[in-house]
């Protein structure tokens, strides 16, 4: 399987990349890790005339602290996330999630920017970024802007990215010390997208849930925040009745596609189970 | 489409070639360089038979373009033996532990296991299984591949290999 012909560009700066994308228009695609785009090109489901490879832009890679925020460059790979002490210490749920993406070889190439910007409902990072309250830095021909992850996803493969714009970094407030977290993903095999997955970040006070955010992966055409489910557990000690209520509230907003991963009812059912497991594990970790 | 001149180091030797941008690295390695040890399996980024080591990372060479590897340092299965030509600890492990049957996945398995042991010279069995989870074998059931990597790990660490009781 060989992709169609294209011209290859390797700009050295974001400004050059934006200019190329703007000048070349719809026929140009940015290339990050390429492990979603290249397989689609081999199947001729994507036929860009120009690829703008972002690997030549040095300052798109790296993890840094900015006050209480963590800022991650778009070209930082899943492998970089797994190797980062800062991530392991400050946002271990990101470590846990990165480890559930694809396989070791793909994680050496796959980037956080590509994962969140592609708009693929199967990708794991978007729901996690919404759970963490992340925002995305988008740079384009008319300058830079920050868009909350929660406002970024408009439909499957449709995002807030405007023509000529590149997602250059993600940032989110580091979760408070002692928080509980879990990313529970049901998948058929290593490398598969989620049949359903749930991210939970919560805090406890006096044996009760003080705050809670729940994100859902691959149970809708966009990632979801399960707000009703999260509200249902706040103020409780996560007794069985509350867990059941939260799972039902989360399932109620799911509208997964029926595909090889199962029929709609099954995916909603296991989606509720992922929420239950993630809540239970997060509470056990929280201090 | 105009061809691009690329140079890279492959198994220690400087190589160069003219490639179309769409030329996949695995095709450049097999067809231009005539290094056919790197196999093409699924062509869909799943099976890992095409795994090569690029700048210290295990990469599926069917999913990167040769132009992207311009200037990089690559090791393929042909570069895995010891400097004196004898089999490496991993190659010896695959032989001694019967870590292959048809052999099609073996180049990718060995190249991947090479990087795994560089990063973690003493992996546990679960770490080995996770570490090679991007490589598919349809013959062995993986058991003897895991043993082969354990054998190599023991040899690298200078300890005697002891098979776990089954």
The string of pLDDT tens digits covering residues A241-283 is: 999 999 999 999 999 999 999 999 999 999 999 999 999 999 9
Report strand pairing: A135-140 vs A166-173.
antiparallel
Å between A187 CA and nearest CA of chain B? 14
Verify whether the Cβ–Cβ distance A104 to B46 is below 8 Å: no
Q: Tell whether A79 lies on the interface with B, counting CB pairs under 8 A.
A: yes
Å between B134 CA and nearest CA of chain A? 5
pLDDT at A152: 98
Question: Which residues on chain A are in Cβ contact (under 8 Å) with B131?
Answer: 104
For testing contact with chain B, the best of A34, A82, A103, A106 (most B CBs within 10 A):
A103
Minimal Cα distance from B136: which residue of A?
A: A190
Q: Over its length of 166 residues, how does chain B's per-residue pLDDT go in tens digits?
A: 689 999 999 999 999 999 999 999 999 999 999 999 999 999 999 999 999 999 999 999 999 999 999 999 999 999 999 999 999 999 999 999 999 999 999 999 999 999 999 999 999 999 999 999 999 999 999 999 999 999 999 999 999 998 876 6
What CA–CA distance (Å, rounded) separates A67 from A65?
6
Domain with CATH 3.30.390.50 in chain A: 181-285
pLDDT at B16: 97
Verify whether the Cβ–Cβ distance B43 to A104 is below 8 Å: no
For residue A36, pLDDT over 80 is answered with yes
B40 backbone φψ class: left, alpha, beta (φ>0; ψ -120 to 50): beta
Q: Tell whether A103 lies on the interface with B, counting CB pairs under 8 A.
A: yes
pLDDT at B165: 65
**Secondary structure of chain A as H, E, C letters:** CCCCCCEEECCCCHHHHHHHHHHHHHHEEEECCCCCHHHHHHCCCCCCCEEEEHHHCHHHCCEEEECCEEEEECCCEHHHHHHCHHHHHHCHHHHHHHCCCCCHHHHHHCEHHHHHHCCCCCCCHHHHHHHCCCEEEEEECCEEEEEEHHHHEEECCEECCCCCCEEEEEEEECCCCCCEEEEEEECCCCCCCCCEEEEEEEEEECCEEEEEEEEEECCCCCCEECHHHHHHHCCCCCCHHHHHHHHHHHHHCCCCCCECCECHHHHHHHHHHHHHHHHHHHHHHCC
Verify whether the Cβ–Cβ distance A7 to B21 is below 8 Å: yes
pLDDT at B42: 96
Question: Which residues on chain B are in Cβ contact (under 8 Å) with A190?
Answer: 133-134
Question: Which residues on chain B are in Cβ contact (under 8 Å) with A45?
Answer: none
Residue B58, C-beta contacts closer than 8 angstroms, at least 6 positions apart: A104, A105, A108, B51, B52, B111, B112, B115, B116, B134
Q: Tell whether A39 lies on the interface with B, counting CB pairs under 8 A.
A: yes
pLDDT at B166: 60
ipTM above 0.90 for this complex: yes
Domain with CATH 3.30.43.10 in chain A: 7-53
pLDDT tens profile A175-203: 999 999 999 999 999 999 999 999 999 99
Question: Which residues on chain B are in Cβ contact (under 8 Å) with A3?
Answer: 22
Provide the whole-model pTM: 0.96
Q: Tell whether B24 lies on the interface with A, counting CB pairs under 8 A.
A: yes
Question: Which residues on chain B are in Cβ contact (under 8 Å) with A42?
Answer: 43-44
Domain A7-53 fold is 3.30.43
Provide the pLDDT confidence category of residue A1 given band limits of 50, 70 and 90: confident
pLDDT, mean of residues A124-142? 98
Among residues A78, A94, A81, which one has the least CA distance to residue A36?
Answer: A78
What CA–CA distance (Å, rounded) separates A101 from B45?
13
pLDDT, mean of residues A95-112? 98
Å between A44 CA and nearest CA of chain B? 12
For testing contact with chain A, the best of B5, B119, B134, B135 (most A CBs within 10 A):
B134
Provide the pLDDT confidence category of residue A9 given band limits of 50, 70 and 90: very high
Q: Which CATH number fits domain A60-173: 3.40.190.10, 3.40.50.1000, 3.30.465.10, 3.40.50.720?
A: 3.30.465.10
- Tokens matching residue A277: 């497991």
Sign of the Cα pseudo-torsion (A195, A108, A126, A16, in order): negative
Give the one of B1, B59, B133 whose C-beta lies nearest to A109's C-beta: B59
Question: Which residues on chain A are in Cβ contact (under 8 Å) with B112?
Answer: 104-105
Å between B81 CA and nearest CA of chain A? 22
Q: By the 8 A CB rule, do B45 and A106 touch?
A: yes
pLDDT at A224: 98
Q: CB-based burial of residue B6 (10 Å sphere; 0-12 exposed, 13-18 middle, 19+ buried)?
A: buried
Domain with CATH 3.30.465.10 in chain A: 60-173
Q: Tell whether B46 lies on the interface with A, counting CB pairs under 8 A.
A: yes
For residue A211, pLDDT over 80 is answered with yes
Verify whether the Cβ–Cβ distance B48 to A105 is below 8 Å: yes
Å between B124 CA and nearest CA of chain A? 16
Average pLDDT over chain A reads 97
Buried b (16+ CB within 10 A) or exposed e, A111-135: bbbbbbbbbbbbbbbbbbbbbbbbb
Is the domain defined by A181-285 classed in CATH 3.40.50.740?
no
pLDDT at A108: 98
Minimal Cα distance from A50: which residue of B?
A: B21
Residue A254, C-beta contacts closer than 8 angstroms, at least 6 positions apart: A196, A216, A219, A220, A224, A267, A268, A271
pLDDT tens profile A213-239: 999 999 999 999 999 999 999 999 999
| Contacts with A, B 52-71, CB within 8 Å | 57-60, 63-65, 67-68
pLDDT at B164: 73
What CA–CA distance (Å, rounded) separates A18 from B87?
49
pLDDT at B2: 86
């Amino acid at each position: 399987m060989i992709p169609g012909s294209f011209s290859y560009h390797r700009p050295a700066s974001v400004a050059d990349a934006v200019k190329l994308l703007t000048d070349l228009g719809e026929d140009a695609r940015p290339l990050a890790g390429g492990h979603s785009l290249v397989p689609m090109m081999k199947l001729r489901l994507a036929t860009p005339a120009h690829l703008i490879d972002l690997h030549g832009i040095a300052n798109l890679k790296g993890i840094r602290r900015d006050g209480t925020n963590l800022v991650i460059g778009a070209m930082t790979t899943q492998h970089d996330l797994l190797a980062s002490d800062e991530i392991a210490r400050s946002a271990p749920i990101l470590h846990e999630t990165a480890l559930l993406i694809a396989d070791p070889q793909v994680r050496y190439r796959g980037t956080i920017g590509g994962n969140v910007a592609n708009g693929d409902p199967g990708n794991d990072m978007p729901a996690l970024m919404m759970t963490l309250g992340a925002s995305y830095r988008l740079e384009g021909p008319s300058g830079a802007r920050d868009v909350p992850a929660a406002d970024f996803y408009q439909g499957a493969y449709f995002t807030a990215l405007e023509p000529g714009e590149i997602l250059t970094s993600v940032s989110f407030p580091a979760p408070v010390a002692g928080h509980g977290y879990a990313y529970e993903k049901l998948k058929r095999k290593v490398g598969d997208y989620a049949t359903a997955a749930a991210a939970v970040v919560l805090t406890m006070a006096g044996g009760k849930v003080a705050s809670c955010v729940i994100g859902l992966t691959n149970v809708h055409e966009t990632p979801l925040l399960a707000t009703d489910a999260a509200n249902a557990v706040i103020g409780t000690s996560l007794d069985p009745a509350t867990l059941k209520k939260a799972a039902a509230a989360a399932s109620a907003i799911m509208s997964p596609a029926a595909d090889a991963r199962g029929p709609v009812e099954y995916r909603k059912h296991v989606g509720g189970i992922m929420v239950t497991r993630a809540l239970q594990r997060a509470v056990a970790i929280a201090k | 489409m105009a061809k691009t001149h690329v140079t890279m180091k492959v198994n220690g030797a400087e190589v160069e070639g003219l490639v179309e941008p769409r030329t996949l690295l695995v095709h450049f390695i097999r067809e231009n360089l005539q290094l056919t040890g790197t196999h093409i399996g699924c062509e869909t980024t799943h099976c890992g038979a095409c795994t090569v080591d690029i700048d210290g990372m295990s990469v599926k060479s069917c999913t990167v373009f040769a132009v992207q590897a311009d200037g990089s340092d690559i090791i393929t299965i042909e570069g895995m033996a010891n400097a004196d030509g004898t089999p490496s600890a991993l190659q010896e492990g695959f032989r001694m532990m019967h870590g292959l049957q048809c052999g099609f996945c073996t180049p990718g398995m060995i190249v991947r296991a090479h990087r795994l042991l560089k990063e973690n010279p003493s992996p546990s069995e679960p770490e080995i299984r996770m570490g090679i989870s991007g490589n598919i074998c349809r013959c062995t059931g993986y058991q003897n591949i895991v043993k082969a990597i354990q054998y190599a790990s023991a040899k690298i660490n200078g300890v005697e290999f002891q098979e776990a009781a089954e």
